[in-house]
Structure 1
Amino acid sequence: MINQVNDVEMVRRGVHTPGTLHLTTHHLIFRENAVSSKEVWVCYPIMAYVERRPFSAFTGFSALRIRCRDFAFLSFNFNNERDSKAVFDTLMALACVPCVDHLYAFYYHPGSAERTVNTWDIYDPVKEFQRMGVGTTIKSWRVTTINEDYQFCPTYPRVLVVPASVPDSVLTYAGRYRSKARIPMLSYIHPLNHCTITRSSQPLVGLKQNRSAQDERFIHAIFTTTKVPNTYGASQENLIVDARPTTNAIAQTALGAGSENMENYRFARKVYLGIDNIHVMRESLNKVYEALKDSDITPLPPNRELLYKSGWLKHISTVMEGAVLMGKRIHYYHSHVLVHCSDGWDRTAQLSSLAQIFLDPYFRTIDGFIMLVEKEWLACGHRFAERCGHLSSEKSFVQASDKGGNTGSQSTAHQAFSNVMSAAKSAAEKASAGGGGGSSSHGASLKYTAPIFHQFLDCVYQLLRQFPDRFEYQERFLRRMLYHLYSCQYGTFLYNNEKERTDANVSQRAQSVWDYFVVRKKEFINPRYLPDLDQGDRGADAVIFPDPKNIRWWHEVFGRSEEEMSVVTLNGIGSTATAQAEVQNRRRLQQYQQPKSQQQKPRLMPTSQSHTYDSLRDVASSTLSSWASTMAASSNAWANAASPYIASSSAYLSSSYADAVEQPRASEIESSLIYHPSHKSAFSATLSTADSDVSLPTSDYSRSSQSTTTTGERELEDTREHEAIEKLAGMSLDPLDSYSLTHGGNSDEAYIPETQ
């Protein structure tokens, strides 16, 4: 064990800084030699990977490269092999603790400000559901005490809210039909129409296609807690959402689980969202790390091709699409939604939380967001300890071999040390398991780690970016929460469920993470927040729905600029070339933006520019007309291909040349054609299979055919064209049309959008 090493060089983003390295019980601290004496603190649990590189005569130093879970990348250079080896062994001994009780949270002494608050009781489930109307204005729901001692469902909270018409005896039998007895429980009641979000685990259908009359009665009671209002478009086609890909859900049938047989739930529809499991998400984030892996030794930008291949933005988009689907079914169609994945504590928590942020402005405040995390993640049993891997593994500490063959004895010694550490950890886990100080289950394999909560925070970041004036908290609030998810400085995220936290008496032994945020609340206020926009909290104005395709990298969390990481194409995700083209286009457009005092009256473009603009306008008009004429018979790929094109073009089609004479407008239309070449191929591919019987305005209304018309005829046709384009831009499909629906067993049923 070693406490201090002098003459160490820290490398960060290619910048070399000399200083002194200190190894405390819970932190690695680097202090610069400069007069400012700046310090860099790294807590041991946040270190995801440590690699030691032996001394090289070529470089003249031995190095430790550290990759952190908050995407900080550091490298420390030592003048001799002895110090490097000693620091490496000490880090591994201090980071790989045998049980939860050895983590920093149980030794942390808060500052004076945090000592004045105690936020362990900040969340009161009864008060939260009363805020929604349970037991006050809404009588169709009740609080049950069936799980008061956690015997009914150890991974559920003590307080459960269920339909008032369902007695506890039905709940008991229904629990036997749901994985780990995680029955449907209430998460949210929409104040506008009292429709609900309920969550559960998968049913135990199995190969024998088992069914449960109690479970069917239970879900039917949930879906009948409200009546269809007498308003246009209120169809109340209640929805069962299975977050998994269809194949994954079917594969679970062989293991005795599966998905609902809709022959037994004819009062609802079912949809598969196709969100991948924890293993896919973990590998996706690992590829992001791979794209950033040299961020310690080089100032160069990340590998954008690897970022694209990671699929991280695709996964974020898929989760957002599912949440938007749920929110729109509740708000626009007055329907109830039951959501589950496998066990109901990963994808289910993501979808339920996001849908509530869309529907309720309360959860877009700091206090409301804390309530949401407590209710949907902590109380409902998201396995934070297992997914975050707070207890580091020796496998995360790697000693690179010397290609010169001079470290054989050192590698042997390192292996011996690792064996001793593993044996000591196993012995400590066995002892603590018997004494109640900590559970050996926390030492689970790293194969169960996954960035599920990180993904949720990333989705919220996308909302902040699309609606910057609708959130009280800012991006840094989310970034600090991600940091403390892994820092183990507070006890909130150290366990897998409410029962484990109660058994460990963590509220008496550690601080709550909300202490940190409550006493620093002013630091996280969004200066652009306009609460007046959400004053009508029972009306449509308080609801927001993001564009799931408008996804960008959360560049702040990676310590990068947006231009370094953003990859933009037709569907919001793409290659390096398109990202660079988008950046160049933005810069070119900014050249034409002048202060208001310098703006002049619009001036006519030269004749050549006028001709170019008209040509571009005719091309866009023709393309939009073709899209409109084939929309009814086309696939969802059509809509995905056409929507960005329409967004960038339709605003200019209804204007005359004289109204659009400024160069920025012409440039923007031009850029939509130049930097999105996939438009043409997507349109051509769809046109070849389109239904030609549908007739909508086509080139009859083109500018090129107006040369012989009178002024009155031209104005009439201008009006027709304008109306046609407005109608086209206003067309929308039911969100269910984007997903695979099942109804009546295994048979597929065509779905007719109510908007047609």
Structure 2
Amino acid sequence: MEFSEHIKTANVEDVVLRQPLHPPSRGTLCITGHHLLFSDRVEAEEGRSGQVLLLLRNIDAIEKRTSVSSGTISIKCKDLRVLQLDIPGMEQCLNIAHSIETLSCLDCVSEMYPFFYRPSELNLQDQWGLSSPEKHYSQMAELHNRWRLSSVNRDYSVCSTYPQSVIVPKDISDDMLVKVAKFRQGGRFPVLCYYHRKNGMVIMRSSQPLTGANKKRCREDESLLQAVIDGSDKGYVIDTRSSQQAQQARMTGGGFESKSFYNNWKRLHRHMERGKALQESLIKLVEACGDESNSMDRWLSKLENSKWLSHVQTALSTAGLLAECVERDGHSVLVHGSDGTDGTLLISTLAQLIMDPCCRTLEGFLALLEREWVQAGHPFQQRCAHSAYSHARLQQESPVFLLLLDCVWQLWRQFPLALGFSEALLLRLANEAYASDYGTFLCNSDQERCAVEVKEKTHCLFQALLRPKHRDYYSNPLYERTELAIWPSVHPQSLQLWKGFFLRWTQQTRLLEEAQEEIRNMIIKWGKLELS
């Protein structure tokens, strides 16, 4: 496809841009295959930047109004910015609006901007990513007695959403894994995602078993889970559905692990909302944050009705339960919901952050996200197709990754010394998941990325964030490593709205950011003086 086919008007003079935290400015608007570029003539003449570059993929929705001689386009972005363009000429306005609507919703992955982005400081031959199942296994010598690296999924035929290599119990053969995969939804058989060095317990994750109404069983699945707790008294299954939802799933072919066949495993149900409910919660919260006419009572009512902080609370408390089972009680845990690609990844990631100091460094956290989200098959392209403003509601959309980042921010705020990264990193990741110059969050699985050669033809976000010029900015200057677990408080009064994200385009939040940056610079300066 030629992008020029969708650009009837490439540039317009005398456009007025209105954007948050800036006075209105007049200049030239240009549209390309992937960007809107606005250039302010006056600021450019005075030697200031005067440019706004907006990735079209970042646009969630547009609204247009026209008259005989002009038009206005309101642009609502996935990062929650709202921009307004006043364009002279009705035809020019309609042409620009049409181009934005078309080019911001390209479905073909290989036509997206990461395949065209070529910064001078990065090379396509650079190493892609920070971690892999092979590297993770090789770094954990303690695993090698009872666990092995299996390449049963090397051609993605056993599970389309798993990576090519996975870590499984040593006693379970690849033939057995193939049978277990047929018994688990989407082929997502139980695999190891975390080994707790303190006591040797593990976290496994999978999808639901396909027991169905007839209570089918799979002896290979039972053997796999028994091999996980060999020599231990019992293990726990944390199901991210309510007991009633799990029962209902049996009527459509799904189900749960029966006590009769998994008698050494105790099942715990912790209902976590997913899919459409989470998406609607985000929409209600963003709507409340954007309504400046709210009274205090109305604002608090809208905040509560959105239920967003309730989802944060549920995720953190479920992750805390998982961490307690492993850290305090000394038991291995299997986590799953139905598909095992959303809430399962959310709580396994948070539990690892709670327990493991290695996951709390800047590099460790990015490697954790790569293992638990990118490689483990979270469908980023489906979940992050639209944010809170879009009028086109797709069934697959859900802000699960954003919910994770909000939960991590709560941890960061409650334990300001324990995490080695800054809030700025969480904000950057939230932006990148929805619209990015990099290929890290493209597609829905490792298999899909392989098919379009993402690793060969795009740059890796995580590698870029660790380059020296970014590393300092995204590091926490107050960080002090602790080997202790960090147990978050989930009392309502302990959880706060993530203002840095949801209210980031307000003057009050911007002033707070400036103050925090000044404090950060002072801390860094003092640290350098002490070292000298």
Using the size of structure 2 for normalisation, the TM-score is: 0.86
Match of 1:5 among 8, 12, 23: 12
Q: Within the alignment, does 1:261 sit opposite 2:258 as a pair?
A: yes
Q: Answer with 482-491 or 459-468: which moved more.
A: 482-491
Q: How does 1:546-561 map to 2 (within 5 A)?
A: 546-549=488-491, 550-560=494-504
Q: Within the alignment, does 1:49 sit opposite 2:49 as a pair?
A: no
| Contact in 2 for aligned 1:156/1:498 (Cα 8 Å) | yes
Distance 1:55 1:316 in 2: 45
The secondary structure found in structure 2 opposite 1:9 is strand
Q: CA RMSD in A?
A: 2.7
Cα distance change, pair 260–559 in 1 and its aligned pair in 2 (3 A): same
Q: Within the alignment, does 1:100 sit opposite 2:112 as a pair?
A: no
1:565-599 alpha-carbon deviations (Å, 9 max, x no partner): 9xxxxxxxxxxxxxxxxxxxxxxxxxxxxxxxxxx
Q: Within the alignment, does 1:155 sit opposite 2:161 as a pair?
A: yes
The secondary structure found in structure 2 opposite 1:142 is strand
The secondary structure found in structure 2 opposite 1:161 is strand
Q: Which residue of structure 2 aligns with residue 472 of structure 1?
A: 420
Distance 2:117 2:338 in 1: 36
Q: Which residue of structure 2 aligns with residue 400 of structure 1?
A: none
1:326-373 alpha-carbon deviations (Å, 9 max, x no partner): 001111110111000111111111011111111111111111112111
Q: Which residue of structure 2 aligns with residue 452 of structure 1?
A: 400
Q: Which residue of structure 2 aligns with residue 187 of structure 1?
A: 193
Aligned length: 492
Q: Which residue of structure 1 aligns with residue 280 of structure 2?
A: 283
| Contact in 1 for aligned 2:188/2:206 (Cα 8 Å) | yes
Q: How does 1:16-31 map to 2 (within 5 A)?
A: 16-20=23-27, 21-31=29-39
Match of 1:522 among 461, 472, 484: 472
Higher helix share: 1
| Contact in 1 for aligned 2:20/2:505 (Cα 8 Å) | no
Distance 1:562 1:223 in 2: 52
Match of 1:380 among 376, 380, 384: 376
1:79-103 alpha-carbon deviations (Å, 9 max, x no partner): 4423321221121232232411111
1:131-170 alpha-carbon deviations (Å, 9 max, x no partner): 33355xx511111221122222121111111111222232
Cα distance change, pair 3–303 in 1 and its aligned pair in 2 (3 A): farther
Distance 1:114 1:309 in 2: 45
Unaligned runs of 5+ in 2: 1-7, 510-532
Amino acid paired to 2:82: F
| Contact in 2 for aligned 1:201/1:342 (Cα 8 Å) | yes
Q: Which residue of structure 2 aligns with residue 332 of structure 1?
A: 328
Amino acid paired to 1:323: A
| Contact in 2 for aligned 1:390/1:494 (Cα 8 Å) | no
Q: Which residue of structure 2 aligns with residue 543 of structure 1?
A: 485
| Contact in 2 for aligned 1:12/1:74 (Cα 8 Å) | yes
Identity of aligned residues (%): 30
Cα distance change, pair 164–75 in 1 and its aligned pair in 2 (3 A): same
Deviation, structure 1 residue 33:
4.1
Deviation, structure 1 residue 26:
1.1
Q: How does 1:268-667 map to 2 (within 5 A)?
A: 268-293=265-290, 303-389=299-385, 396=392, 446-519=394-467, 520-531=470-481, 534=482, 537=483, 542-549=484-491, 550-560=494-504
Deviation, structure 1 residue 515:
3.2
| Contact in 2 for aligned 1:199/1:339 (Cα 8 Å) | yes
Cα distance change, pair 176–115 in 1 and its aligned pair in 2 (3 A): closer
Deviation, structure 1 residue 387:
1.0
| Contact in 1 for aligned 2:282/2:388 (Cα 8 Å) | no
Distance 1:456 1:121 in 2: 20
Cα distance change, pair 563–72 in 1 and its aligned pair in 2 (3 A): closer
Q: How does 1:678-717 map to 2 (within 5 A)?
A: none
Distance 2:107 2:344 in 1: 31
Cα distance change, pair 385–493 in 1 and its aligned pair in 2 (3 A): same
The secondary structure found in structure 1 opposite 2:304 is helix
Cα distance change, pair 360–516 in 1 and its aligned pair in 2 (3 A): same
| Contact in 2 for aligned 1:8/1:78 (Cα 8 Å) | yes
| Contact in 2 for aligned 1:284/1:310 (Cα 8 Å) | yes
Amino acid paired to 1:336: S
The secondary structure found in structure 1 opposite 2:24 is strand
Distance 2:316 2:214 in 1: 34
Q: Which residue of structure 2 aligns with residue 40 of structure 1?
A: 52
Distance 2:436 2:49 in 1: 26
Q: Which residue of structure 1 aligns with residue 520 of structure 2?
A: none
Match of 2:128 among 107, 112, 120: 120
Deviation, structure 1 residue 386:
1.2
1:709-750 alpha-carbon deviations (Å, 9 max, x no partner): xxxxxxxxxxxxxxxxxxxxxxxxxxxxxxxxxxxxxxxxxx
Match of 1:199 among 198, 205, 220: 205
1:204-225 alpha-carbon deviations (Å, 9 max, x no partner): 011111112221121111122x
Amino acid paired to 1:327: A
Amino acid paired to 2:105: C
Q: Within the alignment, does 1:129 sit opposite 2:141 as a pair?
A: no
1:588-629 alpha-carbon deviations (Å, 9 max, x no partner): xxxxxxxxxxxxxxxxxxxxxxxxxxxxxxxxxxxxxxxxxx
Match of 1:208 among 214, 217, 227: 214
Q: Which residue of structure 2 aligns with residue 176 of structure 1?
A: 182
Amino acid paired to 2:382: E
Amino acid paired to 1:553: L
Cα distance change, pair 79–294 in 1 and its aligned pair in 2 (3 A): farther
Using the size of structure 1 for normalisation, the TM-score is: 0.62
The secondary structure found in structure 2 opposite 1:28 is strand
| Contact in 1 for aligned 2:115/2:457 (Cα 8 Å) | yes
Unaligned runs of 5+ in 1: 228-235, 397-444, 566-756
Deviation, structure 1 residue 395:
5.7
The secondary structure found in structure 1 opposite 2:222 is helix
Distance 1:268 1:213 in 2: 15
Amino acid paired to 1:552: Q
Q: Within the alignment, does 1:68 sit opposite 2:74 as a pair?
A: no
Amino acid paired to 2:239: D
Cα distance change, pair 376–359 in 1 and its aligned pair in 2 (3 A): same
| Contact in 2 for aligned 1:67/1:73 (Cα 8 Å) | yes
